[in-house]
């Protein structure tokens, strides 16, 4: 009987070890899906910059706006379109623990790199937000910050992404 209990306990421990995803897998699940309302099949690709997750932290700085906007192929849209952002509401952070999305912030970075501008984002439903593209033609870089569980970046999990688009006629 003791041998059977030991075997069952060993199997449980072995299988439960695989139930905890790595930090990279957890952070990967926070990658937002960013699309245009006019063409939902067109995805705007975000790039991760920094994060704080399960005690692991990185501070990767995003490129200067001039470098980003001049070298990256941006998704084009017109000035009447809207951008939709979908983010996973819950991410597993342990065997029996999950972190829930607390808030997001979206900032637009002008080409000069000065004075980040807060963008008004409208919540459509759980996990989906929307904002209007700028009315002026040009290239725009955005920084999206996702905060999971916690009141600030120090005591919660967070991930930051940047992405861009070009408003055309």
Contact 91, 106 (CB under 8 A): no
| Segment 113-165, tens digit of pLDDT | 788 899 999 999 888 999 999 999 999 999 999 999 855 555 668 999 999 99
Domains, in order of start, for the chain: 20-168 (2.60.40.1220)
Average pLDDT over residues 1-11: 61
Beginning with the edge strand found earlier in the chain, give each strand of the sheet holding 82-86 in spatial order: 43-44, 33-36, 82-86, 128-132, 122-125
The per-residue pLDDT for 45 is 93
Q: Is the pTM of this model over 0.85?
A: no
Can you tell me the distance from the alpha carbon of 95 to that of 50, in angstroms, rounded to the nearest whole number? 24
Q: Taking the alpha carbons of 56, 35, 138, 108 in that order, is the dihedral positive or negative?
A: negative
Alpha carbons within 13 A on the beta-carbon side of 51: 21
* Residue that wins the pLDDT comparison between 93 and 134: 134
Classify each residue of 90-100 as buried b or exposed e, where b means 16 or more C-beta atoms within 10 Å of its C-beta. Answer: ebebeeeeebe
């Amino acid at each position: 009987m003791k041998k059977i209990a030991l075997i069952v306990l060993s199997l449980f421990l072995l299988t439960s070890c695989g139930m905890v995803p790595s930090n990279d897998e957890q952070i990967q699940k926070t990658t937002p899906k960013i699309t245009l309302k006019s063409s939902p099949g067109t995805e705007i690709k975000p790039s991760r910059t920094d994060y704080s997750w399960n005690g692991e932290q990185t501070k990767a700085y995003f490129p200067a706006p001039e470098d980003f906007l001049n070298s990256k192929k941006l998704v084009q849209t017109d000035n009447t379109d809207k951008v939709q952002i979908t983010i996973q509401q819950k991410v597993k952070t342990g065997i029996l623990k999950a972190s829930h999305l607390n808030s997001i912030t979206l900032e637009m970075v002008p080409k000069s790199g000065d004075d980040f501008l807060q963008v008004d984002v409208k919540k459509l439903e759980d996990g989906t937000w929307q904002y209007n593209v700028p009315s002026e033609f040009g290239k725009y870089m955005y920084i999206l910050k996702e905060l999971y569980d916690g009141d600030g970046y120090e005591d919660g999990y967070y991930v930051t992404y940047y992405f861009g688009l070009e408003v055309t006629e």
